Structure 1
């Protein structure tokens, strides 16, 4: 049946009908007063979502572009940076930092394990000459389904005193509590196709006063991603370049939906979906790749043993039109990932888990108790 695709991946995520309809409107001029009013509302609501009074700037980029802007605007060639690497995206920020001539020092953990916060503390305490200029962390590492302990790492950065805290919050913003001002985070990057419930194309960078001070002396080249230009334009409810007008209009609608639901309810919903998915996988005898205590609210990674991950994904797509994510790099073919980020409900999880049970049976797993996964997820929903 056409048009029944169900996205259960960590991005792009499902888009609400109201947001899709906003995309279908006739474009308006990006220098018009009408669009300026929309930008003013969007910027204010972005600050609400980020729990900040500081700048939140909107760029026409993906999450990677937002992270690049967050790095190049506040650092100079040769600056020493600590980069947390325990998955695809932490590794990406290390590569990006090296590409811009930064002195990269990786703090690594095995894929599927959270970063060791003590290693950051030791490096930062030992830096008595204050040579470390930034610590770069992926909060929710979607390649593995791990949520890193950003709060503790950030506390060590604050005790250091001078290093900037640069955060990839691409799949944690809008899914888990991330109080930017309360924690004193300096640079926070995210993307529209994740918790924002909008198609790909917009990136966001929240910037602290401390980061703006660093901007004044940063020497990495920048032009299109010069956040100073975006800051000046944002003060006039505008943009230094042509933005994707309809995506911004769609974002206006999505942020309104998020405000109506409320931050606490959004965070609780994602926690509920995460627990339900993980309990269902356990009931189906499917090993989880990341530990419960470090489970990402965006995605659950599963490492099947008796059946192949890619076979599961293929049947889920062909028979049930449900898209699951696969493993990346050396995990390709070894894990599959169930997304539960953004516009996802209890019903979506029950549908996906029921389809997963049927898929496992088709692949010859006769040991399953009938309805075990759905029952486990339903128990979580009943208790929440």
Structure 2
């Protein structure tokens, strides 16, 4: 059946009809008074979502662009940085750091395992000369479904006194409680195609006063990615360059929807969806790649000893119109990933699990009838 496709990946995520309809409107002048009012509303609601009093900057980039901007605006060539690497995206931030000539120290863990806060503590406490300028962390590691202990790592950064903490919250912002001001997070990057329920194309950065102080001495050249320009424009409810007007229409509506649900409602819904998914996966005789204690609320990575994960993805797509994510790099063909991020409801999850159960049966995987759906539904009681 046409137009019945269902995304169950960690991004792009499903987009609400209200957002799609808003994006279908004709564009208006991005320097007009009417558009300035939209920007002002968006800026206020982004502060609400980030739980911060500081400006949240909107860039015409993906999450990767936001993270790159978050590095080159507050650091200088040769600065020492600690980068947590336990998946595809931690590795990407280390690659960006190395590309820009930063003295990059990788603190690694096996993919599927969380980063050890104690390793960061050791490096930071031994830095008597205060040479470490930043710690760069992926909060929700999308490639493996692991949620790193950002709060504890950040406490060690704060004890150091000098280092900034730069956070990839691309799949945790809008799915997990990230109280930016309460924790004192300096730079937090995210992207529109995740918890924001908007198509790809917008990146967001919240920036602390401490980070803005570092901006004044940053020596990397930048122009389009110069965050000082974005801050200046933000304060005037404007943008330094031409924004994607129709994406901004959609963002305005999605943030209104998030406000109506409320932060606690958003976080509890994502936790419930996570619990449903993990309970169902285990009931179906599959294995979760990450332990329950460190499970991301955005995506669940799944392995199987008996069924080919790519066969599962193929049938889910061709027969049921549901897209699941595959593994990345050395995990390709070894895991599949179920996204439960953004505009996803209990009904969506039950539907996906029922189709997964039917797919496994077709592949000869022996399971009790309705085992997955029953396990998931039990999480709703």
Q: TM-score, normalised by structure 1?
A: 0.99
Could you list the runs of 5+ residues in structure 1 that have no partner in the other structure?
Answer: none
Instruction: Find out whether 1:267 has 2:267 as its counterpart.
Output: yes
Aligned with 1:280: secondary structure?
A: helix
Give the Å deviation of 1:283. 0.3
Give the Å deviation of 1:259. 0.1
Instruction: Find out whether 1:146 has 2:146 as its counterpart.
Output: yes
Q: Distance in 1 between matches of 2:309 and 2:140?
A: 22
Instruction: Find out whether 1:282 has 2:266 as its counterpart.
Output: no
Aligned with 2:337: secondary structure?
A: strand
Q: Distance in 1 between matches of 2:375 and 2:233?
A: 50
Give the Å deviation of 1:29. 0.4
Instruction: Find out whether 1:15 has 2:10 as its counterpart.
Output: no
Q: Write out aligned runs for 1:206-217 (5 A).
A: 206-217=206-217
Give the Å deviation of 1:249. 1.0
Structure 1: 4+ residue segments shifted above 4 A: none
The answer for the alignment partner of 1:48 in structure 2 is 48
Aligned with 1:213: secondary structure?
A: helix
Q: Distance in 2 between matches of 1:254 and 1:260?
A: 10
Could you list the runs of 5+ residues in structure 2 that have no partner in the other structure?
Answer: none
Give the Å deviation of 1:176. 0.3
Give the Å deviation of 1:381. 1.1
Give the Å deviation of 1:172. 0.2
Aligned with 1:381: secondary structure?
A: coil
Give the Å deviation of 1:342. 0.2
Give the Å deviation of 1:304. 1.1
The answer for the alignment partner of 1:175 in structure 2 is 175
The answer for the alignment partner of 1:373 in structure 2 is 372
Instruction: Please tell me the root mean square deviation across aligned C-alpha atoms, in Å.
Output: 0.4
Count of matched residue pairs: 381
Q: Write out aligned runs for 1:294-333 (5 A).
A: 294-333=294-333
The answer for the alignment partner of 1:134 in structure 2 is 134
Q: TM-score, normalised by structure 2?
A: 1.00
Q: Distance in 2 between matches of 1:381 and 1:192?
A: 29
Aligned with 2:287: secondary structure?
A: coil
Q: Distance in 2 between matches of 1:284 and 1:55?
A: 46
Cα distance per residue 1:313-372 (max 9 Å; x no partner): 00000000000000000000000000000000000110010000100011011x200000
